[in-house]
Structure 1
């Protein structure tokens, strides 16, 4: 894949004049996780120096129990990772946020059943008990049931908690027919020797997750170059992280050792994360208006908002072209160079 050459020119200039810590401008980003395998573009970008090349140092902010949108509203962060529902509901309530980059081009949750379960779609689970890891998973299940022509009355919902042995046992013994959870829960089940398949309705599997959003008044503002530099480094890192699994795994193992106690499970986690960060086409961070239109319509259908809004109210492509302004072949060479020097 060949992108425009501006990224190559930037990289050459950066190598000729390496940035020092004093030269870097801090950007604060609220994310649901720290430097974590699921967010490998940050790990890869720091290992390969892409953020520094853009003159940016990344400070992650943990939102804790506060709404992520509050951090943007109050100007406490430059950028926040938000799900579509958070963005749309904020817009309906009068907060002017722009999604400028889709971080993950697929749902981070799934509805997992045993691999040998004869069910081929969620509609086959009518009349059974379906487990959810926590109450935050209930909304996803209800929406998925609607897609399958079922309602909450057609199943029994059991809250199971996060214990890997309990989740695995509940599935394997038939106490629940399926389990609603995130990638981390899928890995937890796998760690117990349980093999599953995902029955999340296909139309929901493409829902964007963890989108980078900024205050609308930041676009074109005095932090514009910092935001653009961060997003270009992130896109380059997303590309680099897909080039060589062994290299990406080595970078992740160094930065996020907690998720690599079991290397096999760590690899499963990483490859699942790669699938989420891989764009549908060639454009990293692409804002897929048709997908957002469907998500917004669904939110209105289930009563989360009174009526659909136009996706253009929350999507802003101001930085997408600049984020993808790099040379893929050059990145591939840099990954190979890093691997030769570090592995």
Structure 2
């Protein structure tokens, strides 16, 4: 009798284990698999995606997210348009250009409310303002990245015309150090993470960015058909990013830990990574009374006006609401 009971219990245990396994598989199958493409490989700059993945915030929203790093906003938008990614983190300038030529994307969350890029010079060159860049070459990482739109807009704001300087595509920050040394460039349109690298490698950086620019930086965009046909997915993605950003602001050591899964080299030098993360959180912080993730109309108008003035946009986009929405952020704040 005891033997029969023992065998029965073993059968129950095996059946329960099988049910747990098949149930787990079913749950995994229920997760919607999506890809988000980033315009760089910095774990600190894009930590909300990494934290949301590592801490299970995406999974809570029914999403299994693959994070891929590309080279610049142009590559991000190309991947989205080609159907290789549902979400991306492009800059507003490239998004406006893409929509103007017929791309179907929607910007729905603001990450860098205080801007991502800086027009950096080497103090040893003797150039002390953006106006001094007339007749010079300016380094950019990619020919069609958000830094190009930013640099054109920044220079136009102080009257420096596009035919008064030349862009040189030089790649990442390490190449910029060499280019400064050889006088190949006299400024570099770099992200603040790039500025940290330049300083770390001995460049005496001077910030040549004109004051008063109302140009926010990269945020999150989604393919248009997903925005229209599956807004619940976009809402879930936004909710996970929102939660991860707030969590990261309160748990910097946790961000460093999660960042090691994405870019261990960046996090290897802890003090450098902490300083970088602190700067990221400063750039993420909302301006004024705006909610975290909010996309300001004034910022879109500033980008639009600047791109028209510099000739990057051939014609005005009559209704900028086709480019962006705050509905998901507003819903988050209302809860």
TM-score higher than 0.5 here?
Answer: yes
User: What TM-score results when the alignment is normalised by the length of structure 2?
Assistant: 0.75
Cα distance change of structure 1 residues 176 and 61 upon mapping to structure 2, 3 Å threshold: closer
Cα distance change of structure 1 residues 20 and 37 upon mapping to structure 2, 3 Å threshold: farther
Q: 1:198 is matched with which residue? A: 207
Higher relative contact order (CA 8 A, sep 6+): 1
Name the SS for the 2:89 alignment partner.
strand
Tell me if the contact between 1:27 and 1:59 (Cα under 8 Å) persists in the aligned partners: yes
Please, which runs of 5 or more residues in structure 1 have no aligned partner?
1-17, 327-343
1:232 equivalent in alignment to 2:242 = no
1:249 equivalent in alignment to 2:256 = yes
Q: Identify the match of residue 39 of structure 1 among 42, 46, 50.
A: 46
Deviation, structure 1 residue 140: 3.9
Q: Deviations over 1:43-81 (max 9, x none)?
A: 222343222222222123556798544444454433233
Q: Give the whole-Å Cα distance in 1 for the aligned partners of 2:178 and 2:38.
A: 32
Name the SS for the 2:121 alignment partner.
strand
Q: 1:178 is matched with which residue? A: 187
Q: Identify the match of residue 146 of structure 1 among 135, 156, 159.
A: 156
Tell me if the contact between 1:35 and 1:42 (Cα under 8 Å) persists in the aligned partners: no
Deviation, structure 1 residue 295: 0.6
Q: Give the whole-Å Cα distance in 1 for the aligned partners of 2:114 and 2:103.
A: 25
Cα distance change of structure 1 residues 182 and 62 upon mapping to structure 2, 3 Å threshold: closer
Q: Identify the match of residue 87 of structure 1 among 95, 102, 122.
A: 95
Which structure has the larger Rg over C-alpha atoms? 2
Please, which runs of 5 or more residues in structure 2 have no aligned partner?
1-23
How many residues align? The count is 305
Tell me if the contact between 1:41 and 1:234 (Cα under 8 Å) persists in the aligned partners: yes
1:98 equivalent in alignment to 2:106 = yes
Q: Give the whole-Å Cα distance in 2 for the aligned partners of 1:109 and 1:93.
A: 24
Q: 1:4 is matched with which residue? A: none
Cα distance change of structure 1 residues 36 and 172 upon mapping to structure 2, 3 Å threshold: same
